[in-house]
Structures are given as C-alpha cells and as structure tokens.
Amino acid sequence: MKRVMLSAMHSGSGKTVVTCGLLRAFQNRGLSAASFKCGPDYIDPMFHRRVLGLPSRNLDLFLQGETGVGRTLARQTAQVALIEGAMGFYDGVNGTHQASAWQLADTLDLPVVLILRPKGVSLTLAAQLQGVRAFRSPSHLVGVLLTDCKPMLYVHLRPILAQTGLKVLGYLPPMAEAEFESRHLGLVTPDEVADLQRRFDAIAAQLERTADLDRLLSLAAEGQGEELPPKPAPRCTIAVARDEAFCFRYPDSLEALETAGAELCFFSPMKDEPPAGVHGLYLCGGYPELYGKALSENNAMRTWIRQAVADGLPTVAECGGFLYLLQTMEDRDGNTWPMAGVLPGGSHPTGSLQRFGYLYLSGENDSLLFRAGEPVPAHEFHYWEAQPFGADLRAEKPSGRTWRCGYTSSTLYAGFPHLHLDGELPLARRFVEAAVRYKEG
C-alpha cells in the first residue's frame, strides 16, 4: 500500500475536496484506494465513502492510542491510501501537537502533502512554509498542492514555493463543483449534495490536467497491510440506529462489536417498526435536531425504546442518540417535539458550540462501559444543549476543566460525549458481554 497524508496550515483549505478528487482520479486509473480521516470528524469520511463505495476510517491518537491507529491502518490493503488531516498540521489537544495531524504522521511515518489555498500572499507563503517545516523535526512534509488557485497565480507561485525544497505538485483552480455548503457541525452530508458523483468526476478530471499525480504517488510511503481476523459466530444481536438523523458512527466501532461476538441489526428510528429479537441498542450521534417531527411521529418506536431501556436492554446513546432519549427536543424553528422519554428533561438549540473537544470520562462505580476510576477518552461536538444533561460521570478536559455529565447504569451509557469502541480499552467487549447476559436472562 502506498500511503500519503493530505494536510493544511488551517481549516477551510480544501482538504476534503482534494482528497475526494484524488480518490476518484486513482479509481479512474484502476487503482484500489482506501481513505482515512485524522481526528474524530464524522462528516468528511462520509464524502470519502461516497467516492469509494467503501468505509472511510478515522485515525485518532487521542481516542484510539498508537496501537489502535496502527491497527486501523494496517487492516487496509488497497494499493493507495490517502489520510486527510484535521485543522492545521500541528493543531492538537489544548494548544499542543498531541493527536495532531503531525503527530499522526510522525507515529505512522507518513509523508505529508500540504494543501494550500493562496489568498493575498506571495513570497511570504514560502516563508510560512519554511516555518512549518522547521517547527518540528522531522516535519514529514514532502510537497504542496494549491487549491482554489487561478492558473496565472499558480505560474507566479510555483517558482516561489520551489525555494522551500518541497515538491510543487500542481493546483486545483476555482470551480463550482468544488464548492460545498456547511452547517453547524461542518459540511452538509453527502446525501444533501446534488450531482455529487458528477462533481467528483469533474474534480478528478481537473486534477489529472493540472496536478502531477504520478509524482504525488512517487512521494508516498510503502506500507504492509494485514488481513482482518475472521469474525466469530454471533452470540447476541445489537440494533444500530442508521438513517439521516443517526449517521455519526465509526466503522471500526461496529467491527469491534462484531469481533466481540455481536450481530448488527440496522434500523431507522424515523421510518421503521421496532426491531425484534435484539439484545442491545446503539443510538449513535447525527442530526436528530433536524428531524424532530419525523422522530416524534414514529410513536411505536419511541414507545418501544422507552420500555426496552427501562426493562434493562443494554443501551449506548451518544450525543444525538442521547437527545433522542430525553423527554422533548426543540428544533431550530422553536417547535418542541416529544422524544423517547427515557431520561428527564429536554434539549434546545444554543447557536454556539458546547464543551467542544477531547475529554476523559470516569465514574465512581462500574457501569455498562466504564470501570470505577478508569479514564475513558471521548469527544464532544454539539450545538444543542440538554437540561439536565446528567451527573453520573466526571468529565475532564486536557486543560483541567471538569464537570459532571451523562447517565450510567449496569445497562446504560447516555450522554453528549462520543466514544470510540475500538481503542485501547475493551468497550466493545463490555457492551457485547452485557448484551449476552441480557439474552441469557
């Protein structure tokens, strides 16, 4: 496998657009491709997946640890793998490089191509690049690719950037197909973008014309993949919410559940009848706040979930899934909708990020996923708030800030923080073991 990271000096540089265009270009060349996203982001990998028709996976040093990210990368056996960075190249936890794109490149020994959007700068851009190269050693930087760059500007900048010693690999000019809308959690989801495949094709064709893809591939590092172990025979069935409202989940988390002995049953809380014969429930995050009316109108589903959780069905409900378990949800238009009613209180929009970023969770007592005193890495990213939002766990950010949050029991985790079930702690196995106990009565 050839592996290369695409990073940038700041968010909004066009990393996702270039990543998707390159993935499609490599597909068009007959190469098998795999994609990854540095950090906890859910939406960018959705775009990767729409290009490839295969899951895109996260590589997150904070949530997975070095062993976890190495395992995730090694399991992919495609001919070329693109790893999309997050934020700026060195931007990590609490103003450090911890869990940054640079630390991931350093951990996995990945060459890095910076995606630059040049605006209002000329020779100073070369000076900035030199600073980025010198800030950590090794920097792992091997090249640059310009995006949203007009042809004449590229002709002007190319010899200037070549002074840095980095390979100047071409450019993507301004084009309507490369413009994607955003909302409060990032880009809109791929299902909301018209003519998405045509856009990918147009971006790929343009990159073939104005970027040196052969040279980019020559800069990639060689890596050895390994086959996944065979899945064991299922010992229980876990229902996993999957629709427009519940779309934030890590493929590795689902595979970890299967490896631990679960058979997964996917269902839509908006559209389906309650699933039958299940022994666990996974309500992942997403955009339930955009679908309050549809969720409330599926009364049979709300009633089933309320009763099943009360009866001890092992349940994990993260962020959007947590909001769904509350009594009510207020949408952005001020309408209030009844939810599943498992937990007290309701949720409402705030217009700003709430407790954004990485954190550790710990509890004083053992529960479904947690063991007393054990710190569990997690992350939050939400614009809706709940009152109350629980107090069974202690949350601590790397900055030292702490607060209480979440609801836990021997059969429940519900709260805003998202978890990765395939990190260094056996969270998936704990969930499956509880489902097996529930099945056996």
Catalytic machinery residues: 319
First to last CA, the chain: 47
Determine the residue type at 112. Answer: V
Provide the pairing of β-strand 336-338 with 280-283.
unpaired
In whole angstroms, give the CA distance from residue 353 to residue 111.
33
Find the helix packing angle between 61-74 and 101-108, rounded to 10°: 40
Q: Using CA of residue 134, residue 138, residue 144, residue 147, what is the dihedral sign?
A: negative
Q: Where are the alpha helices (DSSP H) in 211-291?
A: 213-219, 251-259
Contact between residue 41 and residue 86 where contact means Cβ atoms under 8 Å apart:
yes
The strand order across the sheet containing 412-415 reads: 262-267, 236-241, 280-283, 315-318, 412-415, 407-409
In whole angstroms, give the CA distance from residue 248 to residue 284.
6
In whole angstroms, give the CA distance from residue 399 to residue 415.
21
In whole angstroms, give the CA distance from residue 254 to residue 72.
13
